[in-house]
Amino acid sequence: MTLLAPTGSGRPPPAPPAARSGRRGLLPYLLLLPGAAWLFVFFGVPLAQLAAASLYDPSGSLATGYAMTWAFSNYPDVVQAYWPQFLRSFGYAGLALVLALLLGYPLAYAIAQKAGRWKNLLLVCVVAPMFTSFLVRTLAWKTILSDNGALVGLLRDVHLLAPDGRLLATPFAVVLGLTYNFLPFLVLPLYASLERLDPRLLEAATDLYASGAQAFRRVTLPLSMPGLVAGTLLFFIPASGDYINAELLGTPNEYMIGNVIDSAFLVRLDYPQGAALSFLLMAAILAVVFGYLRRAGTEEVL
């Protein structure tokens, strides 16, 4: 004879294990739904519209309207017309990245390993300029590098600059502006990696008769690679697409591809050209990023 357990309070029996497992399996996807919807509405839809605009008939205008003619010829046309600006953008961003590494790596190492109780204050000093508008910071450099400024006067007095030499409206000014404005994006990931570095590893290297340079090359640099890879990407990607520094600190001879895109959309109102240039810039940056990650190892950014 089988005895049935009393139901007592009348509560429903617990769900079988298979049903509970199914609900738990759906939970991560439900949590992703709001973020995925946000990306679709504010990233996917505009990107699709931009892709469509890049294939409009280039002979149209904003006044008469654009016709969708699937004009794939827009892409080779803009490459042929503006390849110097593409090369200049990546060249300036690369030079700025090298300069930022020379400045940022020692700074991040000093804050992480040598600053002691001043660590938080120095981190605030690195981040504090970001609280000011990007435009205001670049205008400040325009004042610093002006022909009548104290810096140019000092360089002329010590004969490091010709009497009629200048810093403003030169490639040097654009690269310097890029370096300054995006330097925190490089320093902070480097600091996060170097701050976790165990000093005992360096002591062990010196105990094994490694010189300072050998200890840096064999211990410090490999352990800081996650921050180095992440920092270089965070620096290079926005720097290669920037146009404010070239606009304010340079001349049309220093214009980058971002300046051409800005002019296409807001001055010449040539939407097919601006959209095609935007897509080519994204594709070029993605190619550089994937090539870099493949060489550096994607595990370095995890």
Phi, psi values for residue 291, rounded to 5°? -65, -40
Is pLDDT above 90 for 235? yes
Is pLDDT above 80 for 3? no
Question: In the prediction, which pLDDT does 208 show?
Answer: 81
Is pLDDT above 50 for 146? yes
Phi, psi values for residue 109, rounded to 5°? -65, -40
CATH for 88-301, options being 1.10.3720.10, 1.10.10.350, 3.40.50.620, 3.40.50.800 = 1.10.3720.10
Name the token pair of 52: 């469509």
Is pLDDT above 90 for 23? no
- Residue 67 is classified by DSSP as -
Give the number of other Cβ atoms within 10 Å of residue 182's Cβ. 25
Is pLDDT above 60 for 252? yes
- What pTM value is reported for the model? 0.84
Listed residue (264, 185, 284, 165) closest to 229, CA to CA = 185
Alpha-carbon gap, residue 58 to 60, rounded angstroms: 5
Name the token pair of 196: 């976790």
Per-residue pLDDT tens over the stretch 30-71? 888 999 999 999 999 999 999 999 999 888 877 778 888 898
Q: 134-142 long-range contacts, Cβ below 8 Å, gap at least 24?
A: 134/181, 134/244, 135/244, 137/180, 137/181, 138/177, 138/181, 138/244, 138/245, 138/248, 138/249, 139/248, 141/173, 141/176, 141/177, 141/180, 141/248, 141/249, 142/168, 142/248, 142/249
The residue extents of the domains of the chain are 88-301
297 versus 217: which is more confidently predicted? 217
Is pLDDT above 80 for 89? yes
Question: In the prediction, which pLDDT does 302 show?
Answer: 47
Question: In the prediction, which pLDDT does 98 show?
Answer: 96
Cβ 241 vs Cβ 191: under 8 Å: no
